[in-house]
Chain A
Amino acid sequence: MNHIINLNVIDYIILGAYVSITIMVGYALKKYMKTSEDFFLSGRSLPSWITSLAFISANLGALEIIGMVANSAKYGILTVHFYWIGAIPAMVFLGVFMMPFYYNTKVRSVPEYLKLRYNEATRGLNAFSFAIMTLLMSGISMYAMALLFELMLGWSLTSSILLSAAVVLIYVFFGGLSSSIYNEVIQFFLIWFGLLPVVFIGLHAAGGFSGLIQKIPPSFLHSWQSMAKASDNPMGVDWVGVVLGLGFVLSFGYWTTDFLVVQRAMASEDLAAAQRTPLMATFPKMLVPILVVIPGLLAVALLPQFSVTAPAGVTPDYNSALVLLLAHYLPNGVLGLAITGLLASFMSGMAGNVTAFNTVWTYDIYGSYIKKNMPDEHYLKMGKYATIFGVLFSVGTAYIVQSFPNLMDYMQLIFSFFSAPLFATFLLGMFWKRATPWGGFWGLLSGILMAAVHYALYRLNVVHYASEMAADFLQAWWAWFADFVVTILVSFVTAKTEESRLVGLVYSLTPRTHHEGKFLRRPAVWGVIAIIAMVVLNIIFW
């Protein structure tokens, strides 16, 4: 197969340096892994600048970048909704309101909180669905990477899959979560340094921002103006879908309950740092559209196959938009750096999934159902074996996902099955002390089933939406709603938990932590600043 990018020796030196440093960092962390908490939670000792950047990077993986550049080439500035309303409020909520529960209860995973607040069954349901979801996601990332590297460099799918699997396996095996987090921070910088040159040169080619604006359709330039009716905007979603589906359910479900991201905050050195993790992360998050939305618009403006004048009837391969830009505008050298940034984001996305899987598998499945009360070294060893299993399973998944056309839509679909309803379970669990153990379980199960039923109805053409994305957003909403309603109804007819057992787990029964000291060190202050910044951005790009 023809490939579109030719790397030279300089590019390969850059790529090789990245692979060696990740392995070295992983290996250097090996000697710090003495207990299972060191391996799974970095000994709860990391400073917040590291956990914040890792928090963002965990979500800046494979599908994020390629998929969001594709979205931007397809839908324009509407893509910012995934970064602003679809992320910031949820991250602020996690930092200000939810983090104290996660951190102060000393739970080691999200399912473990569910066990304390509800019961074993709720934890089991969440732990199993999460373990499956993370391995699927990890396989998807790997497949996406392999596909991209075949297109770019002509590497075969199998060789990229095996290379990335081997590197991730080595560094996670040695350093656990710390390896994963350290590599995510390195990746954060590589992706910015790697992609900014194409943004600058692309803007130069388009004649600056004013030139860019003239070359793209007007409907691509506004984030809210075309949102009144689904049929008026390219995404086929109205504001209700964006606000309820994406902004409320999907985003809160993902950012506040997905252990993959929450685990990063749990690794912080103290509660204040844990609360700062998602709050500080909102600021780089708001800027990520520079790296994804602008390249998408540049593809529309500069590359003939994505432009408005392209022949009708031919659907361009949006997922290749970013790669084609790189091939077109970056000379060797910075080109190798951009490819390295992408490779880093693919690998760290996969590593993040594998480490989250490890932890949930070892603490919530193996340690709770298979072998309880073993010495800590046993679980540390188990975590390392689970890494091997997780990587192998992901490799298998990578070969299975090949039949899905749009990887991004698939990702949203998986989230809406598992994580959208979960947010209702957490919301009621943390803020309504009447929610009962079985209310939590049946609510969560109903939410997942609702998502499945809705998906079947949509596939069988019983319910209709203007676009695939609208279907995903609304599916998330209905799954959440089912969970919310069923949890409340079942809670009224099942046995309550004694209030004394809920202290520290439910908002109204937990003494407030007062943050003494400087105004600027209080989480709520940063939360408000982040929300104001988000509102201002939305107004600018109205």
Chain B
Amino acid sequence: MNNSNSRPHFFDLKIPLGGLLTFYGSVLLLYGIFGSHAIYAMSFGINVNLIWGIVMILAGGGFLGFSYIRNRR
């Protein structure tokens, strides 16, 4: 088998993965800001969607950023 173009063999997984996590983070963040706050009674008043949305945007953005830097080189 000819391996001359073996790298990169497949597309970079970091892009769909980072995209999905960023998308989830944004949905959660927006819902945490604009959605009803009554639902947070069950989580002891903690707005988990807001907090977790930010965490996921950071994680997803990290994957996308890392992929961007590597592909530029």
Q: Which residues of A contact B (CB under 8 A)?
A: 10, 13-14, 17-18, 21, 24-25, 28-29, 32, 35, 37, 42-43, 45-46, 50, 178, 182, 185-186, 189, 193, 197, 200-201, 204-205, 269, 328-334, 337
Q: Which partner residue on chain B sits nearest A50 by CB separation?
A: B13
Can you list 27 residue pairs at the A/B interface with Cβ under 8 Å? A13-B27, A21-B19, A29-B11, A32-B9, A43-B9, A45-B6, A46-B9, A182-B10, A186-B16, A189-B21, A189-B59, A193-B21, A201-B44, A204-B46, A205-B44, A269-B7, A329-B42, A330-B42, A330-B43, A330-B48, A331-B40, A331-B42, A332-B31, A332-B39, A333-B32, A333-B49, A334-B48
CB distance from A51 to the nearest CB of B (A): 11
Beyond contacts A21-B19, A182-B10: 10 other A-B pairs, Cβ-Cβ < 8 A, are A10-B27, A13-B27, A29-B10, A45-B6, A46-B10, A186-B20, A201-B43, A331-B49, A334-B48, A337-B24
How many residue-residue contacts, CB under 8 A, span A and B? Answer: 95
CB distance from B17 to the nearest CB of A (A): 6
**B35 sits at the interface (CB 8 A):** yes
Q: Which 3 A-B pairs have the closest CB atoms?
A: A45-B9, A333-B49, A331-B39
Interfacial residues of chain B within 1-47, with CB under 8 A of chain A in the complex? 1, 6-7, 9-11, 13, 16-17, 19-21, 23-24, 27-28, 31-32, 35, 39-40, 42-44, 46
In the bound complex, residues from chain B placing their C-beta under 8 Å from that of A189 are 17, 21, 59
Known A197-B52, A328-B42, A330-B48; contact A186-B17, beta-carbon cutoff 8 A: yes
Do residues A14 and B27 form an inter-chain contact, with CB atoms below 8 A? yes
In the bound complex, residues from chain A placing their C-beta under 8 Å from that of B7 are 45, 269
In the bound complex, residues from chain A placing their C-beta under 8 Å from that of B52 are 193, 197, 333-334, 337
Do residues A35 and B1 form an inter-chain contact, with CB atoms below 8 A? yes
Residue among B7, B42, B46 having the largest count of chain A Cβ atoms under 10 Å: B42
Q: Which partner residue on chain A sits nearest B38 by CB separation?
A: A331
Do residues B43 and A329 form an inter-chain contact, with CB atoms below 8 A? yes
Do residues A193 and B56 form an inter-chain contact, with CB atoms below 8 A? yes
Do residues A333 and B11 form an inter-chain contact, with CB atoms below 8 A? no
Do residues A42 and B46 form an inter-chain contact, with CB atoms below 8 A? no
Do residues B1 and A37 form an inter-chain contact, with CB atoms below 8 A? yes
Q: Which residues of B contact A (CB under 8 A)?
A: 1, 6-7, 9-11, 13, 16-17, 19-21, 23-24, 27-28, 31-32, 35, 39-40, 42-44, 46, 48-49, 52, 55-56, 59
Do residues A43 and B49 form an inter-chain contact, with CB atoms below 8 A? no
Do residues A197 and B48 form an inter-chain contact, with CB atoms below 8 A? yes
Do residues A333 and B43 form an inter-chain contact, with CB atoms below 8 A? no
Bound-state Cα–Cα, A204 to B23, Å = 27
In the bound complex, residues from chain B placing their C-beta under 8 Å from that of A29 are 10-11
In the bound complex, residues from chain B placing their C-beta under 8 Å from that of A35 are 1
CB distance from B42 to the nearest CB of A (A): 6
In the bound complex, residues from chain B placing their C-beta under 8 Å from that of A337 are 24, 28, 52
Do residues B48 and A10 form an inter-chain contact, with CB atoms below 8 A? no
Known A17-B23, A37-B1, A189-B21; contact A333-B10, beta-carbon cutoff 8 A: no
Do residues A21 and B20 form an inter-chain contact, with CB atoms below 8 A? yes
Bound-state Cα–Cα, A197 to B11, Å = 31
CB distance from A134 to the nearest CB of B (A): 24
Do residues A17 and B20 form an inter-chain contact, with CB atoms below 8 A? yes
In the bound complex, residues from chain B placing their C-beta under 8 Å from that of A13 are 27
CB distance from A421 to the nearest CB of B (A): 35
Q: Which partner residue on chain A sits nearest B41 by CB separation?
A: A331
Known A35-B1, A50-B13, A178-B10; contact A331-B20, beta-carbon cutoff 8 A: no
In the bound complex, residues from chain B placing their C-beta under 8 Å from that of A24 are 16
CB distance from B25 to the nearest CB of A (A): 9
Bound-state Cα–Cα, A200 to B23, Å = 22
In the bound complex, residues from chain A placing their C-beta under 8 Å from that of B39 are 331-332
Residue among A25, A35, A42 having the largest count of chain B Cβ atoms under 10 Å: A25
Bound-state Cα–Cα, A196 to B14, Å = 21
In the bound complex, residues from chain A placing their C-beta under 8 Å from that of B1 are 35, 37
CB distance from B41 to the nearest CB of A (A): 8
Q: Which partner residue on chain B sits nearest A24 by CB separation?
A: B16
Do residues A32 and B27 form an inter-chain contact, with CB atoms below 8 A? no
In the bound complex, residues from chain B placing their C-beta under 8 Å from that of A37 are 1
Among B20, B44, B56, B59, the residue within 8 A (CB) of A18 is B20
Bound-state Cα–Cα, A329 to B24, Å = 19
Bound-state Cα–Cα, A386 to B28, Å = 40
CB distance from A44 to the nearest CB of B (A): 9
In the bound complex, residues from chain A placing their C-beta under 8 Å from that of B43 are 201, 329-331
CB distance from B56 to the nearest CB of A (A): 6
Bound-state Cα–Cα, A37 to B2, Å = 12
Residue among A35, A37, A178 having the largest count of chain B Cβ atoms under 10 Å: A178
Do residues A201 and B24 form an inter-chain contact, with CB atoms below 8 A? no
Known A35-B1, A37-B1, A201-B46; contact A182-B13, beta-carbon cutoff 8 A: yes
In the bound complex, residues from chain B placing their C-beta under 8 Å from that of A45 are 6-7, 9-10
